[in-house]
A and B are shown apart, each in its own frame.
Chain A
Amino acid sequence: MTTVKPPSARVIVDDVAVGERVDAVLAVADIPRIEGKGAVTIVSHGKVDQAADAPGPVLVLCSGTGRRAALELIASRALRYLVPVDDRLEDSLLTMLGKLSGADLFGLDRYVRHGGLFDTYDVADSVAKVRVLREIGARAQRLGCPQLIADLFLSAIDEMAINAIERHNRAGLGPIEIVAAAEVGRFAVAVRDRIGQLRPEHVLGSLVRGGAQKQGGMALDAASAQLGFRIMFDTLSTLAINVEAGCRTEIVGVIDLGKSLREYRDTVPGWSCFVRE
């Protein structure tokens, strides 16, 4: 695929150290930082208002707010790109900028960069899904993932897969594909279909409806898919959705290992949704 490098990036950050880290990534990616309107705007979550008039994609850096506040920010601003400011900031930013630059959107190797075994499964129905989830759960345990976090991860993968299987079966497309891969400190799974129907508004709608949680939860008639995306947002360290419209969808879920359940549940998640028409 042809790579189209963003010609420039505008950076609006409220922390000098974060700004230096962003500059280092831009240097590696060979993207100049400019003061005017850039092709891409990289902005701290506290200054997101200053990016309101940005002409291109807005990539929000989020730190220290907790998961719930981060999800409210995503929902209220309909954000498509959110990067947590953590020890993986550089990797996450490079991945995002690479995709925004026109590189191939797809591939779990963007999230598991440092080797690791890739397990690929064809999943045609619920029985196969349960078997594959059991295998992924066993691998999570071998990686030292605490049981309840592994259970959360499996719940998210279940949701990632369930609608894809149903759509494939309806269209007579055969099995979907699930890929699992791990590296030190993280475990990632991709679920791929050959339909390409998903759009950001479907996903973000789950957060808007999920906002009703404060008032006692979503309504009884909330669609299963809405609940499914809410579960993914609440249980993954990173949720990335890549769509080639009308052709294929890849949903990537990542968990960071080595945290307590409470820390894990309160961590700002990485989030992105790329749609190529």
Chain B
Amino acid sequence: MLARRVERRPDGRTTVMLSGLIDETADLEALVADLDGELAFDLSGVHRINSIGAHRWILMMARITASRRVVIEAVPYCVGMQANYVANFFARAEVLSCLAPYACDTCDTSTEMLIHRDEVSLRAPTRWCSSCKREMRFDELDGYLDFLVRTRLT
């Protein structure tokens, strides 16, 4: 089940916070039908997206980004994986940030850390463990952040 929470900001931008599953039951068009103007999607609450959900997402993004500015924030790991598979996953939207997997070998913990697109160059940015304060290890393959870099270039 996919849920949304909408916040209207004083600057006119509308932020849509999605949470849950983007799958064959998700009516994405209905989720944005009543929204106009500049949109920001916060995807941090999405915990799974399947291939049918991805198709619906792509179609929805293609339509809504054709006529207005759309930004995407906090792309979670599950969505980042799909974004790397599919060209034009975010259409003309600007992806500002994502949640990427990091691990602390000292504390034996793993977590998703927020990364802003401007921090990404040839490698993932450095993050420190909140417990032991040591540097964490980027816990994905080097190409994982490609979707973030790609949308910066387009």
Contact = CB atoms under 8 A, between A and B. Distances in A.
A152 B81 CA distance: 9
Contacts of B62: 220
B103 A217 contact: no
A220 B87 contact: yes
Interface in B91-149: 101, 103, 110, 112, 137-141
Interface string A20-41: 0000000000000000000000
A147 B102 CA distance: 12
B13 interface: no
Contacts of A152: 81
Binding site secondary structure of chain B: mixed
Given A147-B110, A148-B110, A162-B51, A217 B139 contact: no
Contact of B23 (A158, A212, A222): A158
A162 B52 CA distance: 9
A230 B55 CA distance: 14
B87 A217 contact: yes
Given A158-B23, A266-B141, A212 B51 contact: no
Binding site secondary structure of chain A: helix
The 4 closest A-B pairs by CB, nearest first: A217-B87, A227-B51, A224-B51, A228-B51
Interface in A138-173: 146-148, 151-152, 154-155, 158-159, 162
B66 interface: no
Interface residues of B, number: 36
Contacts of A222: 86
A126 B24 contact: yes
A130 interface: yes
B140 to A, nearest CB: 6
A227 B85 contact: yes
Contact of B86 (A154, A162, A217): A217
B14 interface: no
Given A220-B62, A228-B51, A231-B51, 11 more contacts: A159-B51, A215-B87, A227-B82, A227-B86, A231-B82, A231-B85, A235-B81, A260-B103, A260-B110, A262-B103, A265-B141
A215 B62 CA distance: 19
B4 interface: no
26 contacts: A126-B23, A130-B23, A148-B77, A148-B101, A148-B112, A151-B47, A151-B77, A151-B78, A155-B50, A155-B81, A158-B23, A159-B50, A210-B85, A213-B85, A216-B150, A217-B84, A217-B86, A217-B87, A217-B89, A220-B87, A227-B86, A230-B85, A231-B81, A234-B85, A260-B137, A262-B138
A220 B56 CA distance: 11
A269 to B, nearest CB: 14
